Structure 1
Amino acid sequence: MYLKKKSTILNIATAKQSNFNRYFLSDFVEIQRKSFYTLLEKGIIEEFSKRNPITNTKKTIEVFFYPDYYQLTPPQYTPNQAIIKSKSYTSKLYIPVQLTDRTSKIIKLKWVYIGDIPLMTKRGHFILNGCARVIVNQMIRSPGIYYQKKIYENFSDKWSEKPENTFTRYYADLICNRGTWLRIEMDKYNRIWAQMKRVPKIPIMWFLIAAGLTDKIILKSIMDSKILLYNFQEDPLNPQKKSLPYVTTPPAAWIKLYNIIFSKKLKKAQNKQKVKKKSKKTYIKKKTYKNLNYSELINLKKTIELKAEQGRKWIFNKFMNPRTYDLGKIGRLNFNNKLKLAVSLNITILTPQDFLAATNNLILVSKGLRELDDIDHLKNRRVRTSGELIQMQIGIGLVRLEKTIREKMSLVLITNQLKKKDFLKKTKNKKEKRSKGQTGHLRWALPCELTISNIMNTKPFNGALREFFGTSPLSQFMDQINPLAELTHKRRLSSMGPGGVTRDSATLAIRGIHPSHYGRICPVETPEGKNTGLVNSLTAYARVNSQGYIETPFYRVYKGQVQKKKGFYFFSAKQEEKIKLGAADLYTSDIGFLPKASIPVRIVEDFTKIARNEIQYVGVAPIQMISIATSLIPFFEHDDANRALMGSNMQRQAVPILKPQRPIVGTGLEARAVSDSGHVITAKYSGIVMYTSSKKILIYSSVRIKYRRHQERSLSYE
């Protein structure tokens, strides 16, 4: 009797344990709320700090922001009032600004109204002009350096089926958050070029010299450095046959820059000129250097140096200026890891060492000593959440604000100078009239006073945010057909948008399912048609970390025992490559031990069978690999993938009925989905539930605190 009772208790315990997983699920709208909280906590401060200080051309006037002390006013309307009155749910942003005039030695400090920031509701959306809007999460290539290959095929004639010969060449893409993308590529003649958009390609040797490196450092640092000199031959494969011209003629500045570094003719000419000056037999030299005298030589040298300086400045503004180029901390981290550098994480621009290491690594990749990168792997793709997208737009607004401040500063100085000249003229005329006996009245022209309120303007900041929320493809009207539609919309991942791919250019590789998507991106829920594979959904357990990479949880396995009590271990796609993973639906004994037989596991992309003691982690739940909408399909594992895709999409289109009912067959996630969507009322405090209805929840709390009236009031869904 006792044993029977014990077995029934254990069965109930295991049943409870299987249902217990769903309580570990984080809030489904947390991704939106967390990203907006990060924007308020760090993002606004970061963007204003980048623009500090703003000075005029002569650096006599300086404007300095103190973003750490910024303040947001309480919104004018509540979310419900904003919807009813067709207004925006926004808050005013105030920042202390200091104006320093170095000529008059005056310092002014004032709180300044910068603009309106739309606030996120607790349901994870924004309200603008009475309409609910959602900012969709964007999935893009992570900033860094990626090595890939290009296959060249030579056909004997136009109609031949098979190529006569094929050969592979490699290239590196240097990707940034803001600025120009750079490609270092090796062509079919083994020449290495630096290539950008709308600019002729540049030989890598010239590019490295222009970046600030010397020829000795370049040739010593790079393995097999003679490859760099192939660009200067007519035909690297056959040097005697001079039939192959340059692929693209480089700009004149680069040719002259190369001449000043490598050509010895100029130095020889200078030396001969000096010898000619010293010797008395000048009549022979005059004929030889008839067209090249000393002054012309100096002028030539100066023009070459000027062109070289212009080239260097151009390179600096493209890749080494923090105001025009930004890798971000993640990009810098990726560069350091890939190229084995030790550059500080605060340096978010490209350095000459980056270019040098990237070129060296490309030569090593071409020789098969380094591996290529899989661009579709989730370790090379990151998510831009709503907070980050708004932060980028705030940055654009502040760039415009900086421009207007500079213009106004220079305008005030010019007007002051003109008034001063006018005043001096008038005083001179008055003196002349007095000498002639005429009287004239002189008006005192006060100079324009430079104040903080004069130079600050709210239009650039508000205009940038209005543009983003109104016209960006990532800012969409919220899908409000039913609670599931809202929830799915807020957990959506889009590969399109600014900086992403387009429907027409996206290949099958981008749209397809990758092994690294397991537990992170749902393989089932995606639209049909042109957007297939480009618009995806996050899985039920997935979360986005601070760096923008998607993580998924696992239970740890120690000597064959699944340690559920230790909680979740979250891994990104890069961390997951180093571990041996078991499936979530593996049978475990009452005390959590795996079976003694060999167990199927996944190691990176390979599937194999190993002993239970070798397994390191197992999945958390069978629904870990699918999204919320897909996990609401009963007996999903017996369904066809195409049918499941249509089912998960059609559930979002179901119109809610007047009297909601429980599903006949449920999966256990329905209550959680509707509560996280915000369509049911939830109690703010814990305690003993005294009464519940669709409009009111009464909670009795035994904690020794003063009685709170708001515990009994009706809680609105907002």
Structure 2
Amino acid sequence: MLSAESLTRARTPSGRISYAHIDRKIDGISYERFEIPNLIELQLDSFAWFVEKGLRDLFDEISPIKDFTGKVMELAFLDYEFGDPKYSEEECRTKDLTFSKPLYINVELLIKETGEIQRQRVYMGDYPWMTDQGTFVINGAERVVVSQLVRSPGVYYSETEDPASGRMLFSAKVIPNRGAWLEFETNNKDQLWVKVDRKRKIAATTLLRAVGYEENDAIAALFSPVDTDLEHPFIAATLDKDLTHTQAEALIEVYKKLRPGDPPTGDNARQLVESLFFNFRRYDLGRVGRYKFNKKLDPVAERLGIELPREGRTITREDIAAIVGQLIECDRGLHLKDDIDHLGNRRIRANGELIQNAFRIGLLRMERVVRERMTIQELDKATPNALINIRPVVAAMKEFFGGSQLSQFMDQTNPLAELTSKRRLSALGPGGLSRERAGFDVRDVHH
């Protein structure tokens, strides 16, 4: 029997009783004390990551902010810190207030014409702060940011049957954490095509040429270890359909497909391709995406004689070549299709990453305002405080905590319901599913 005396009880700072250790005696054998795990550790650790690392990453992403010409001034974000809360948790609950802490950041403004540097400590607003119980007190009500189950960044292969020929056709979908999607596909004429950001199709060799594999012979030699089926020569058939011959022509062709109606120039086309795939501010695979890429594509990269980056979080030309190589191998039956709804192809976004995404939206809006102010501000009156407008960031965070599907009122029916609401996973929300699109495939059991 388990008696009250066998429970070692301790009061937590909040006044709640914690049963930290339990002694059991069963059949005369004494089982001494085991640690009860912290069941809300994910929530607490994720928020701590956001405060220490996630916020630093965001400021590094936008820093320095330069004016539109890049020649007048630039604003750099240095170290930051959170101040003490104005009200305690209990006061916020009773007075219908938000439990928050003020954020301060040291900002450096460089006036390029004079070389003058101004440093100021700027108040960035008050932001909701997590309590020791893993909740947020918003307008007096306790809310929980529910963890989100989302499709993991990476490359996924699928197959469909061609109704005309009965042949299996394969496709590869590249899903980044942030940025343009790439979709490669084969057709019944042994050609490889690609859609950039769900726009019109272009030959896969055109994209390869645009990212640096310029010569036909070089492209054919690169894929010769995998394109070995003489009945279905994918690279030769695609090169026959490819209308471009140089990298400059390929860049123009990509630009025409992505920006129909705009007059293409060599510089515009190069800038577009570089910003779409090779600029971290526009394209991010994430650490998980890079790990998944390398795990799946390393074997084919080795056969092609190329090496994939270990750390970089943007896509590279080697990544694109490896994806095309594996797509050709799919047709030869050397690679199985992926189940995109399998839990192995999903990952959890905890509250720290969700709050970081909301904060990023506000910072990018603030960046636009700062740039506009840089163009109209007189140089002798320009200061970090005069340039920075914190309203877009505060509004984005208020919108997230007050209106997001993932910010929910905590179930306070009983302690178990409270714990369950903190540990819940949701597939809904931004970047996830909607109730209308969640069909039987997603709801099914995957193994």
Cα distance between partner residues in 1 of 2:26 and 2:280: 63
How far, CA to CA, are the matches of 1:12 and 1:173 in structure 2? 60
**Separation of aligned partners in 2, 1:483 and 1:130:** 19
Deviation for aligned residue 1:313: 2.8
The answer to whether residue 415 in structure 2 is matched with residue 457 in structure 1 is: no
Q: Which moved more, 1:379-388 or 1:495-504?
A: 495-504
In 2, distance between residues paired with 1:44 and 1:203? 40
Q: 2-side partners of 1:484 and 1:59: how far apart? A: 59
Where 2:344 maps in the other structure, the secondary structure is: helix
Contact 1:152 1:168 in 2 (8 A): yes
Partner of 1:30: 41
3-state SS of paired residue (2:323): helix
- 1:101 matched to which residue of 2? 111
Tell me the TM-score normalized by structure 1: 0.52
Decide whether aligned partners of structure 1 residues 73 and 194 sit closer, same or farther in structure 2, where only a CA change above 3 A counts.
Answer: same
Q: 1:114 Cα shift?
A: 1.4
Change in CA separation of 1:368 and 1:453 when aligned onto 2, cut-off 3 Å: same
Question: Are 1:507 and 2:439 an aligned pair?
Answer: yes
TM-score by length of 2: 0.82
Counterparts of residues 331-480 of structure 1 (less than 5 Å): 331-340=289-298, 342-412=307-377, 416=378, 448-480=380-412
Q: How does 1:680-699 map to 2 (within 5 A)?
A: none
The alignment's C-alpha RMSD in Å is 2.6
Secondary structure class of the residue paired with 1:92: strand
Counterpart of 2:75 in structure 1 is: 63
CA distance in 2, matches of 1:186, 1:257: 21
Match of 2:276 among 312, 318, 328: 318
AA partner of residue 386 (structure 2)? N
Deviations 1:332-380 (CA, angstroms, capped at 9, x unpaired): 1221221116444442111111111110111012111223323233332
| 8 Å contact kept, 2:210–2:248 | no
Matched residue SS, 1:457: coil
Change (3 A) 1:186 1:384: same
Structure 2: how far apart are the matches of 1:309 and 1:228? 28
- Matched-pair contact (CA < 8 Å) for 2:92–2:99: yes
Structure 1 residue 309 displacement after superposition: 4.5
CA distance 1:132–1:41, shift in 2 (3 Å): same
SS at match of 1:58: coil
The yes-or-no answer on 1:220 pairing with 2:221 is yes
TM superposition shift of 1:306: 5.4
Contact 1:39-1:388 within 8 A present in 2 as well: yes
* 3-state DSSP of counterpart to 2:31: helix
Q: Secondary structure in 2 aligned to 1:368?
A: coil
| Candidates 329, 332, 337, aligned match of 2:287 | 329
Give, in angstroms, the shift of residue 258 of structure 1: 6.9
- Counterpart contact for 2:358–2:397, Cα < 8 Å: yes
Shift in Å at residue 511 of structure 1? Answer: 1.2
CA distance in 1, matches of 2:147, 2:357: 14
- The DSSP-based 3-state class of the residue aligned with 1:199 is coil
Measured after TM superposition, the shift of residue 189 of structure 1 is 3.2
| Match 1:111 to one of 121, 133, 142 | 121
CA distance in 2, matches of 1:218, 1:486: 58
* Distance in structure 2 (CA, Å) of the matches to 1:173 and 1:510: 17
Q: Which has the larger radius of gyration?
A: 1
Q: Report what 1:139 is aligned to.
A: 149
Name the aligned partner's letter for residue 341 of structure 2. Answer: D
Task: Quickly say closer, same or farther: Cα 1:323–1:257, change in 2 above 3 A.
Answer: farther
Q: Distance in 1 between matches of 2:310 and 2:388?
A: 33
* Number of matched pairs: 396
Contact kept, 8 Å, 1:36 with 1:386, in 2: the verdict is yes
Residues 384-417 of structure 1 show CA distances to partners (whole Å, capped at 9, x for unaligned) of 00011001111222211211111111112xxx4x
Percent identical across equivalent pairs? 36
Task: Report if the CA contact (8 A) 1:204-1:228 is conserved.
Answer: no
Is the partner of 2:334 in helix, strand or coil?
coil
Give the Cα separation in 2 of the matches to 1:454 and 1:409.
10
Structure 1 counterpart of 2:387, one-letter code: I
Gap change, CA 1:486 and 1:62, over 3 Å in 2: same
Q: Deviations over 1:428-447 (max 9, x none)?
A: xxxxxxxxxxxxxxxxxxx7
State the match for 2:8 in structure 1. none
CA shift digits 1:499-520 (9 cap, x unpaired): 11222222323212334xxxxx
TM-superposed CA distance for 1:448, in Å, is 4.8
Report the Cα offset of residue 197 of structure 1.
4.2
Q: Which moved more, 1:471-480 or 1:219-228?
A: 219-228
Distance 1:310 1:458, change over 3 A: closer
Question: Larger relative contact order (C-alpha < 8 A, sep ≥ 6)?
Answer: 2
Kindly state the Cα deviation for residue 54 of structure 1 after the two structures are TM-superposed: 1.3
Which segments of 5 or more consecutive residues in structure 1 lack a partner in the other structure? Answer: 1-8, 155-164, 235-253, 263-304, 417-446, 516-718
Change (3 A) 1:260 1:118: closer
- Quick one: distance in 1 between partners of 2:148 and 2:70? 42
